[in-house]
Chain A
């Protein structure tokens, strides 16, 4: 039944086609011919002079945009890296400076300590030397004094012996002598 219907439809279309300009479904061979010619020409001309340059220009531009985006991304990454490197080296330098200051502080402290002890020792030595010198001088003075006393005593004895043997007088003489010595 469906086949019959479709045959009927085809027959209807065909009869209308034979009617010429009477049907919407009639195919004009001339028009089809000109469509083929026009479309093929259009396709060739546009392909060569329009689509190729346009599509390649679009692609070029898209690639350029992609490239510059990638480059920007890379530059950003690089800048980040450099920044972190800078921060690292800055931190390192700070640490080093701190260490140097610490070290110099320690050194200064030790130097101070050393100088103080050294100067103390030197003073002590000087004092010791001075006291030794004083002792020595004192001893020498005593020795000299002793010698002088002995000499004076001998001289006094000699004088006493030369004078008479008056005890009282002798005594006076001795006293006078001694007081003379004291005056000296």
Chain B
């Protein structure tokens, strides 16, 4: 399925690439998606092309990492679920996941949605852990950050959008929901403007979700690559003394950002769900 070239060819390829690309192009090359894993200078692992009804659904490295994350997440969470059958008392590894699950339930879903939050909990938990695993997998060298791709974040935001709208329509009824979008006590003359503003607001919320996650996860990686590229741009190994510690600091910051962005995406989705379900405030 996966055809890989020999190591020597990979080295030649990457050397050729560094000679032809100039300046910051290689940074984008690392941050962006591609149809191969670049284990340079050792080898390049090419992924198969797939076509479905004339639609290109070729595998990319971000898709593979996404699957890896999904499989890891499934294994971990089913393990946690099984541990409850043995004993009600959580231990060690499972305790960590339980703390995060309870955090999502009690600090994200419960206060922002309120009554009836249980219905949205599976979506919020899945989104939170999916993004969290994606962010952390992206921090592993030679890996790819699928949460730093606009296609992925836009898809996730679309899911949030669908959940928000369905939640609102299901609770308030289609007519009640769209009527409730316009705040009470607005002068009649302003209503046409409010309709446009609120209607746009429906789409700007998930748009902001998508851009925020994408930009945050991309920016950190670009900063790390830029710091390391200082060494090569300056043609002086001494720059490593400055660039490496700062890059390390940014890397540690990225760990925080990974947690934070998963949290922010989930709590904002949850908040928007709460606003759609209870429109009175």
Contacts and interface: CB of A to CB of B under 8 A. Distances in A.
Interface of A: 21, 24-36, 38-39, 41-43, 45-47, 49-55, 57-58, 60-61, 64
Given A39-B126, A53-B84, A30 B56 contact: yes
B24 to A, nearest CB: 12
Contacts of B74: 42, 45-46, 49-50
B33 A28 contact: yes
Contacts of A51: 77, 121-122, 125-126
24 contacts: A24-B28, A24-B32, A24-B218, A28-B33, A29-B56, A29-B57, A30-B55, A33-B55, A33-B57, A34-B57, A34-B66, A35-B155, A39-B126, A39-B155, A39-B159, A42-B130, A46-B73, A46-B122, A51-B121, A52-B122, A54-B80, A55-B118, A57-B88, A58-B101
* Contact count band on B: 35 or more
A47 to B, nearest CB: 4
A24 B27 CA distance: 11
Contacts of B62: 31
Given A24-B150, A28-B149, A46 B126 contact: yes
Contact of A35 (B55, B58, B78, B152): B152
Contacts, number: 118
Given A42-B73, A42-B126, A60-B88, A54 B101 contact: yes
B144 to A, nearest CB: 11
Q: From DSSP, what is the main secondary structure of chain A's interface residues?
A: helix
A63 to B, nearest CB: 11
Contacts of A26: 150
Contact of A32 (B34, B125, B152): B152
Contacts of B32: 21, 24
A35 B34 CA distance: 15
A46 B77 contact: yes
Q: Residue among B62, B77, B85, B154 with the most chain A CB within 10 A?
A: B77
B34 A64 contact: no
Give 9 nearest A-B pairs by CB, closest first: A50-B77, A57-B84, A53-B81, A35-B155, A30-B57, A47-B122, A31-B151, A32-B151, A51-B122
